[in-house]
Amino acid sequence: MTSEKVGLALLGLGRIGQVHLNIILSSHRTNLLWIVEENRELAETVLKGHGLLGKLRVVSNDKFDDILQDPQVKGVYVCTPTNTHTALVRKALTARKAVFCEKPLSEELADIKACYDDAEKYGATLFCAFNRHFDHGIRSMYDKARSGRLGKIYMVKTTFHDTPLWMGAPTFTQTFLIHDVDLLCWFADSLPDTVVVQATANIKEVAEKSDVDTVGALMRFPCGMLGILDFCKYSPYGYDVRLEVSGSKGMDVSDAKPVSYVKSYTPNGLETNPIHMSFPDRFDQAYRSEQEHFLDVIQGKAELEVKRVFSERAAIVIDALKESYKTGQVITLKK
C-alpha cells in the first residue's frame, strides 16, 4: 500500500477526456505527466483554459511507446474514440500500466476478451469506466436491492434520454446503450434469457443517417426480474437518467437530477429547476468517485469492483438487441 501521488498519462482531450482532465488536476493524489492528443489545436485551447499551456507535456500518439517506458507513469487514462481503445489498452497493459478506459472497451466481444486476457497475463489493472456504478443514488439503490430489503426484485426500469444530440455513433452500439444494459445485468447479476426490442427514428437528422433514436427493450432474467430499457438519443429538456426498482416489499425510484432541489412557491404555482443538461454535470460526483476507486486499486487500498463480466455481458446483450431489431424476433441468449 502506498500514498505517493500516482503518475498518470491521459489519452484524448475530447468531451470525456476534458472531464477527466479537470478531475485529475483537482486531485491531490495524482501527478499528470503526459497528455496524448492528436488534435494539437484542441489541446492548446484546453490547456490555455487551465493556464497550463507549456507546463504539461502534450504529444501525439506516435510517442505512446516513450510514455509507456516512463517508470513514473503508473496509470493510463484512455479517453479516445471507441475504435482506438483495444490497441491502446492492450499496449498499456503489456507495459504493465494500470488502465482506466472509457466505456466501452470495444464494440467487439473478442476484443474485450483479449483486453482482459492481457490484464490477467501481465497482472495489470483494467478498469472500464462504468461511472453509473459510482453514482451515490444508483449505488444505494443497487445495495438495497441486492440486500433483499426490497424483497424479490420484479422489475428494473432504466431511462436514458441523452442531450445534446450526438451523432458520433449509431444507436445500436455499446457507446450508447452500454450503461443501461449494464445496469439491468448488474441488478440481476446475470445475462438475460431473452431480449426483444422496438426502435424508431423520430429525429430528421437521425432518420437521414438510417439510424434510430428511440429504443424500447424488454429483457427477462433467470431470477424472474424483468428489465425495461427506455432510450432516446435526444431530449430537449436535459440529460435525463432515471431508475426504478420494484420488488415484493416496495419500490425505489431515482428521478432526473435537477441543478438544484430548491422549490419556489409563487402565486402562479410551484417553480422548480431544470435538470442537468449534460453528462459532465449529471455525473460529476460519479466521475470523481470512480477516479478515487481507480487510484485506490493502484495504491493497493481496494479490490477492483468493475469486473470483466460487466463488459462481456453488455457486449453480448447489445449484439442480441441489434439482432432483435434486425429480425423483429425475441432473441434467446445462448447459455
Question: Taking CB under 6 A as the rule, does residue 83 contact ligand NAD?
Answer: no
- If DSSP codes are grouped into helix, strand and coil, which group holds residue 115? helix
Of 175 and 246, nearer to ligand NAD (C-beta) is 175
**To the nearest whole angstrom, how small is the minimum distance from the Cβ of residue 15 to ligand NAD?**
4
Question: Which residue pairs from 204-209 have beta carbons closer than 8 angstroms and sit at least 24 positions apart in sequence?
Answer: 205/165, 205/167, 206/165, 206/167, 206/171, 206/233, 206/234, 209/167, 209/170
As a whole number of angstroms, the distance between CA 8 and CA 131 comes to: 19
CB 259, min distance to ligand NAD, A: 18
Contact range with ligand NAD by CB under 6 A, out of 77-85, 146-154, 256-264, 270-278: 77-85
Among 7, 12, 192, 227, binds ligand NAD (CB under 6 A): 12
Q: At what angle do helices 284-298 and 15-26 cross, to 10 degrees?
A: 60
Q: Where are the beta strands (DSSP E) in the chain?
A: 6-11, 30-36, 57-59, 75-78, 98-102, 126-129, 153-161, 194-200, 214-220, 226-232, 240-247, 250-254, 264-266, 269-271, 331-332
Using the rule CB under 6 A, is 129 a contact of ligand NAD?
Answer: yes
Q: Give the three cell numbers for residue 127.
A: 478498469
Counting contacts by CB under 6 A, is residue 59 touching ligand NAD? no
Residue 297 makes contact with ligand NAD by CB under 6 A: no
Asked if 175 interacts with ligand NAD (CB under 6 A), we say yes
Query: Is 214 among the residues that bind ligand NAD (CB under 6 A)?
Result: no
Is 249:149 a contact under the CB 8 Å cutoff?
yes
Kindly state whether residue 81 participates in binding ligand NAD, applying the rule CB under 6 A: yes
Looking at beta carbons, which residue is closest to ligand NAD? 14
Report if residue 158 touches ligand NAD, rule: CB under 6 A: no
| Residues 167, 278: Cα–Cα separation, whole Å | 15
Closer residue to ligand NAD (CB): 19 or 153: 19
Least gap, CB of 251 to ligand NAD (angstroms): 26
Q: Which is nearer to ligand NAD, 63 or 146 (CB)?
A: 63
61 touches ligand NAD (CB under 6 A): yes
DSSP SS3 for 129 = strand
Say how far apart CA 195 and CA 89 lie, in whole Å. 30
Is 22 among the residues that bind ligand NAD (CB under 6 A)? no
Min separation Cβ 74 and ligand NAD, Å:
19
- The alpha carbons of the chain give a radius of gyration, in whole angstroms, of 21
Q: Is 227 in the site for ligand NAD (CB under 6 A)?
A: no
Query: Residue 291, interface with ligand NAD (CB under 6 A)?
Result: no
Contact 85, 77 (CB under 8 A): no
Contact (Cβ atoms closer than 8 angstroms) between residue 14 and residue 79? yes
Q: Which stretch binds ligand NAD (CB under 6 A): 8-16, 117-125, 222-230, 293-301?
A: 8-16
| Nearest to ligand NAD of 43, 217 (CB atom) | 43
* H runs (alpha helix) in 27-155: 40-49, 64-69, 82-94, 109-122, 136-147
Residues forming contacts to ligand NAD in the complex (CB under 6 A) are 11-17, 36-39, 42, 61, 79-82, 84, 102-103, 129, 131, 175, 279
